[in-house]
Chain A
Amino acid sequence: MRLALLSALNAARSDRRAAVLVTDLDGGAARLVTAETLAGDPLEEAIRTALRTGRSGVVEGTRAFLTVQVPPARMVIIGAVHISQALVPMARMIGYDPVIVDPRTAFATPERFPGVTLLAQWPDEALPGLKVDRYTAFIALTHDPKIDDPALMHAFEKNCFYIGALGSRKTHARRIERLGANGAPPEALARIKAPVGLAIGAITPAEIAVSILAEVTQAWRQGIA
């Protein structure tokens, strides 16, 4: 592999651009395929599928190996709450880079979240600068409609692969009504995971964090395609 190719692959990763490295296992020249150069590539169909599934592998019937690189998933957490304190270190371990947004300055303190990117701003101010995208897990935990609702509208717009919101079924039913009245399409509302997290009987903040991360992992590994 030429060094220039490795550099281009690494640059695509750090810019959060999807890219596929095509390696000839018989030792021929390798090439990097991106969304811009995909059309007309001899392996266009296979590469398109690989980009959708995020799976590396040998293209059937060929000696071409695809190293598929989709952007590393991000995590935006709305709410500097107790659950977030458990969620952040666990999310980091899995490979997410978590950011917390909470305008309530009593919650969003560096003492409660040492070393964490913490934005003590309203979602409308904080979110546009975060470049939320398809490869972002979005979790609303404040339980306060004034904060969670506008944040969720932003997550719908950016089509995040995971959108979860804390709250009982009853709370969630009221949320659906409010967001619907606010113009959120039914298919977006149906995507919200609420009550947030897999149903594993979690009680403590750390257990709830585990259930949320399990659900996020499931969405990432099984759903993003």
Chain B
Amino acid sequence: MTGTFPLVDIKNVEKRFGGSGGFLSTRQPIVSALNNVTLSVQKGNAFCLVGESGCGKSTLARTVMGLHPPSRGEIHYDGKRIDDLSQRDRQVYTRKMQMIFQNPYASLNPRMTVRQTLEEPLKIHRPGMSKLEVRDKVEEVMRSVGNDPAWGDRYPHEFSGGQRQRISIARALMLDPEFIVADEPISALDVSIQAQVLNVMMDAQEDRDLTYLFITHDLSVVEHFGSHVAVMYLGTVCELSETKSLFAAPRHPYTRALLSAIPKMDAKGVDHLKMTGEVPTAMDLPTGCVFHPRCPVARERCKREVPELKENGDTKTACFAVEEAWI
């Protein structure tokens, strides 16, 4: 677990949707989902992406996984560029990179038994394995996520949400990947079950030396689970830092607002930094800093110029207020 070796390197990635005239329609509006995102995930990290809905965190995850190609920029895995590979060349990386989705009710095929679901990746990527080896592997992985291997012949509908999400995790672990992208894996679950699933993911990280890209809108989970955090707003990274320093001293006004919105158990009443308005749509990006219409400390410069992500003490922020120390 070296701390300096970038496993996944995202370089100046942009992603736009729409724009071309579709069938029977005139030009569609362009949605700029990602704007010049640069970040790298070191081996052994639990890298968290946080932000409100519509900030592009899922788009980034899907772009990394190759589920849609970036409009501009490059994605490197283990030193090699992977975003321009053909589907065939990409298969090598599919084995190393796996994904866990948000909703375990939608991401498991209802007509396949748990065993079929878990065996499928092996049939595709490891056709040489014998039946016995496959069976042993399924049992081993089922056990490691805390599910009884005897449940193999049941269908997804027979399981509770937490058990289903553990099956999704098991499916992602079947190929012994190095890197797992988890897109809000616990937000559809009860609080008590969230703890179970997080523990399974943390155990798997320890046992298998995994690297995570973990997407969530819940900062309390990040503080617990993440080693590094990128806070995203409207397709841009506005703060990037180690989890400890981010929680100890959030710099960017958006990060501060997000942190203050976490409901706290011992607080009297609700008390949070007010952000005015809601996330604007990515169809019509604000000029200058994308956060300025909601920012409590925005000044003239923020409306004109786009701040770059710059080193500021132990965190990186994209904010003029932090740079020029007026906050």
Verify that A and B bind, or say they do not. no
Q: A residues near B, CB below 8 A?
A: none
Q: B residues near A, CB below 8 A?
A: none
